[in-house]
Structures are given as C-alpha cells and as structure tokens.
Amino acid sequence: MDDALALRAQVDEAVKGKNFATVLERNVRERGDKPAMSWKHDGEWHHYTWREVRERVAEVAMGLKSLGLTKGDAVAIQARNIPDHVVADQGILHAAGVPVSFYNTFSPDQIQYIAGHCGAKFAILEGKAFLERWEKIRSELPALEKVILINGAEEYANEEWIMSYDDLLAEGREALHAGRDDFEATWKSVAPEDPATLIYTSGTTGNPKGVVTTNYNAIWTAHSSQMMENYTPGATYVSYLPLAHSAERVATIYVSFYTQTQVFFCPEVLQIFEVVPEVHPYSFLAVPRVWEKLNAGIVAKISAEPDEKKRKIALGALETGSEIARRKREGESIPIGMKAKGALFEKLVYSKIRTQIGLDKCELPLSGAAPISPSTLDFFDGMGVHIIELYGLTETSAPALGNTAHERKSGTVGKPLPGVEIKLLDDGELLIRGGNVTLSGYYKEPEKTAETFDEDGWLHSGDIAEIDSDGFVKIIDRKKELIITAGGKNVAPSNIESLLKAHPLVSQACAIGDRRRFISALIVLDPEASQMWAKTNGVLYESIESFAADERVAAEIQMAVDDANSRLNGVEQVKKFTILQTEWTPESEELTPSLKLKRRVILSKYDADIEAMYA
C-alpha cells in the first residue's frame, strides 16, 4: 500500500497542472515532423505529422467556437476509426468542450437517450448512414443546434441545420489567420479537473451511465501506463475497436498521444486481419473474441493446406506449442523431447505464422474488456505471441491492473498499475483507488455515483476477485452475475462460457442456472468457422439455421461441452445445452457494442428455449 501511495505521488507530480492539450503541444515541439496518424485511401497509406494533427485540431476548435461552442458544451461524434474522429475529439477538447463518442451501432433511440442526457450542442458525423438515424430523432433533441457532416454534406446544401466538416475547418482557418491568441488562451483555460470526455458504459443492465473522465484522469492513466511499459516514441499501433469504448479510446488517444505512438487507423473491424500484416505493430489490443477468431483463422488456413505433409507438421507444431504453454501455466514439467520439438518448430513454423499474421514485431499483444480462455492463451503462447491480459473499467479510465511483457502470470489480470491501490471486501469484491479513477462519477447520476464510489475515493468494481501470494489478481466474475444454484452453490458463468468458446465452432455461450437444479447453456455458432468445419467434415452448409440443426454439429458441440466439463467441478458442469439457430450481435441486442452478453435480454428472449432444458 505504501509503495502504491509513493508511486501515486510520483505520477501526480509528473502530471501536475496539465490538461491533455499540453501533450499535443509537447509532441509538436519534440516530434513535429514525425508521423502521428496513418490511414489508407485508394490502396495507399497517407500520414499526418504531429504538426499537421495539431493544426487541424486548432481548425476544428476555432470552427466550433465560431459556431458558438462554449466551455463545458458537449459535442457528439459518431464515426468509424478514422483520423478525423480523433482530430474532432481533440478539437472539441482544445475548444474547452466535452467530446462524446457514440457507438456506430447505436439505434435512433439509443442516440436520443445519450445525446439528450449529455445535452449535445453539436454532432460531428462521418456520413449519411449516421445522419439518417439522427434525422429520425432530431425533434427530440432541443439542445442540438447543428450537425457537421464529414462526408456527403453537399446533398444537404439547403438544410440549415447541416454543415460540412470542410466548411467548419475553413471557418477555423480564417479565425486562426486573424490571430492565434484566442486558440492558445482557450486550450490553456481547460483545467485538469475538467472533463476530457464523457464515456457511456455499454449498458448490460438498464440505460448506459455517462462516466466523466477528466483531463487529470486521462494524463494520469497515460503516464502510469508509460511507467508500466516503456514505450519508445514512434512505436506503432492499429486502432480498430470502437472509440466509444474506454479501452480503445485510452489506447488510440490518451496513451498513443502521451507516448508519441504512430496510430494506423482501420475503419472496419473485419479488415483488421488484413491491416495488421501490413503494419506489423509494436502494440495490438484485442478483445477475447478477436483473439479467438484469429486462433480459428490460423487453424482453418493450415487445415486447408493441400500438402498433407506440410499440414500435419504445422498442426502438430500448434498442438505441441499449446501443450508446452499449458504445462508452463499449470506448473507441470516439460519433457526434454517436447522442449526440443518446440525449439525446432519455432524456426520452421511459429516464426513464419507470426510474420504472416503481422505480430512478429508485436511486443505488447494486449487483451482486455472480458476474460480470455486459457486455451486461447495457450495457443498463442505456444507460437510465441505472449498475450498480456489487462483489467479495467470505464470508471478507471480503462486500465487499472495488468500483466506486463516482463512480468505476467497466465490466467490473471496482473498487478495494479503504478500508483493504483486495490483491496478486497469480505465478500471478495475488488475495490480500486488511484488517479485513474474518476472522482466526478456518473454524469447527472448522484445516486448511482454514491452506490459505486465511497467517500474515501474507493471504486467498488462489482467484480469478485482473488489476490495470490505474488500479488497477481484473478477476476472470478461479476458480483451480480454469479449464478446461485437451487442447492445454494455459487457458480461463475464467465469461466464456463470461456471454456465452451474454446471450440472454434462456438461464437458465444451463455451459462444458465440461477435458482435451477443444474447448469445449462445456450450456444451460438460462428458462421465463418461453421463453413470451414462443414467443408472439412463433408457437411452441407446452406445457412447457419440449417447447419445448427444438423445432428453431426450437435455431436461436435457435445464434444466441446464434454471437454469443458472435464475442467469444471460437478456443480459447474453443463448438463444440457441448446444450439440456437441464429447469430448474436449488438444489432440483434444480445450483445453490447463491446461484445459482452446482455444477460437480461438473453434470458427474456430465449425463455422458451431455457425452460425446455429444465422441463
């Protein structure tokens, strides 16, 4: 505890009196002509230098001020991962406003709730597809004065409430040409305790809450992260997860700006496996589902190799690597012959796979936002990609705990970031305190703030955890999501679900069993993996619905359930399961935008399927 307090004082001193705009000013001074942001257009990579980024930020800031933006006004942003999303964000901050990024998947009703709740004065949208949703609820947003369209504004030339982004930049340039004093004074007026953003939680239960992340929180988290992992200026990172999610926002904006990292933007999540092999990034952040899909893709590609000898060698290498990693994780001895095989496969197989998938130069392969299965960790560990698990919440400015490249323990979320304190309540709930924890709580929600943050500055995480003798933390599950069986036993559903999802065919799994006699599971198949499996096993694939109903598929999933059960104790084991003939996506409402299960929605929507398993 004393060490944490000393480190906190150290971080506090380093960020004292700063707002996040000072970071960009420093970057121009130190690396003005070095690349800061990169994006692809017509097959070619284009770049902004740090100097160009700041100038564009200044244009956005002064353009918004010319429209009437005043200190503390909220501005919505709904755009994919493109440079102008981040430029707009920082332009709003430099104008003393509050940027609020919206998930691209939001429905009109969700947009209305959040835009209304934060009182968005302006909205910066990427294009027509987003604008159409805002048009439907415009009349319900009295505070909204103007929408600024990055692309396609010419179609709306006669609409006074719509303005082109280019025109906004032009107004900003004109204001800057007249003099820069106003711009300099405005960004310097932003206090450390002023909001750097409002981040709305995914909302697994009820309406999302707006978490106030201050400039102090953002800079403090970035500095602490830099202390934990010594980033080198000019390191590379690929941004592709939603910028409305705290993890990607912190990685793309706060940590990357603070560490002077060059960010490559990938606007479509499905293109990530094409972009990463081009960039070969120094750091790469993925949610477990992305790591699982990459795992399945590697296996599928090797399984489709026509040369039988090559195929057997590569699959055998992956199996050997996974087994070595498993033995290391579980503290078992590794036979000399297996070690020798692993060393040989490193030269023949693993190094080549890492290069092909673009992770050969990746020193920081990160996983966060949800638990990752041991088998997925073993798969990548075995081929030399040592995934670093992190843990955090929107309320902790994303990272609060983490393994590092030099100190990691598989199956844990590591140790606290420098300057972060943790402790457990008697029931095992994890409490967190540090400069990364928002002290402003939830925007306009004093009662919910009081429920989560105590008077001593501790955040009650809602997660049940264990701390081992070496100080590594293991998250058991969400406190409110623990299953209590009819026999009174506590069961963590996420552990069961992780083990089920270890099978390539399983896209999502939801464990059921609260106040029930036994544990059951709803299982959703992965369409891409299903097509590959069907081809390999001679099964006709016409649709996910017909495939899910095939008896051979049911037999394969039974094997996956049996394998999961072999790693679970009796009360945790899945006694029955149902394969659903559908997909789960944020749009179909079973998942949040960050791909977490909406358990209430699932329990209600699939009530008949659940009851049939207990009939």
Element (H, E) at 422: strand 421-424
Which residue, 398, 132, 81, is CA-closest to 270? 81
591, 585 in Cβ contact below 8 A? Answer: yes
Phi (first) and psi of residue 236, to 5 degrees:
-115, 150
Per-state percent for the chain, helix, strand, coil, to nearest 5: 45, 20, 35
**For residue 371, what pLDDT is reported?**
80
**For residue 574, what pLDDT is reported?**
95
Residue recorded with tokens 């409002």: 198
The amino acid that residue 355 corresponds to is T
Give the pTM: 0.86
**For residue 206, what pLDDT is reported?**
66
Residue range(s) in the chain whose domain bears CATH number 3.30.300.30: 482-614
d(CA 116, CA 121): 10
Residue range(s) in the chain whose domain bears CATH number 3.40.50.12780: 21-189
d(CA 495, CA 264): 34
**For residue 296, what pLDDT is reported?**
86
Q: Where are the beta strands (DSSP E) in 34-88?
A: 35-41, 44-49, 74-78
* Torsional sign, CA 430, 432, 436, 442: positive
Could you tell me the maximum CA-CA distance found in the chain, to the nearest angstrom? Answer: 76
Whole-angstrom Cα Rg for the chain: 25
* 482-614: CATH topology: GMP Synthetase; Chain A, domain 3 (3.30.300)
* Torsional sign, CA 444, 450, 455, 459: negative
Which residue, 290, 291, 295, 265, is CA-closest to 279? 265
63, 96 in Cβ contact below 8 A? Answer: no
115, 144 in Cβ contact below 8 A? Answer: yes
**For residue 129, what pLDDT is reported?**
95
Which residue, 556, 550, 609, is CA-closest to 578? 609
Using a pLDDT cut of 70, give the percent of the chain over it. 99
Residues in the chain: 615
Residue recorded with tokens 């399927």: 609
Which residue, 82, 121, 81, is CA-closest to 100? 121
Which residue, 503, 521, 504, is CA-closest to 512? 521
d(CA 572, CA 567): 9
Residues ≥6 apart with Cβ < 8 Å to 530: 505, 541, 544, 547, 553
**For residue 203, what pLDDT is reported?**
57
Q: Classify residue 453 by its DSSP letter.
A: B
d(CA 105, CA 254): 23
**For residue 204, what pLDDT is reported?**
53
Phi (first) and psi of residue 575, to 5 degrees:
-90, -30
Q: What is the DSSP annotation of 15-38?
A: HTT--THHHHHHHHHHHTTSEEEE
Element (H, E) at 530: helix 527-537
Strand order in the sheet with 574-580: 506-512, 519-525, 574-580
Residue 37: burial class (beta carbons within 10 Å; 0-12, 13-18, 19+): buried
Could you tell me which CATH number the domain at 21-189 has?
3.40.50.12780
**For residue 161, what pLDDT is reported?**
95
* Torsional sign, CA 114, 117, 118, 119: positive
**For residue 480, what pLDDT is reported?**
79
Which residue, 425, 430, 556, 567, is CA-closest to 495? 567
d(CA 407, CA 426): 28
- pLDDT tens, 212-262? 999 999 999 999 999 998 889 999 999 999 999 999 999 999 999 999 999
Question: In which residue ranges of the chain is pLDDT below 70?
Answer: 1-2, 202-206
**For residue 373, what pLDDT is reported?**
82
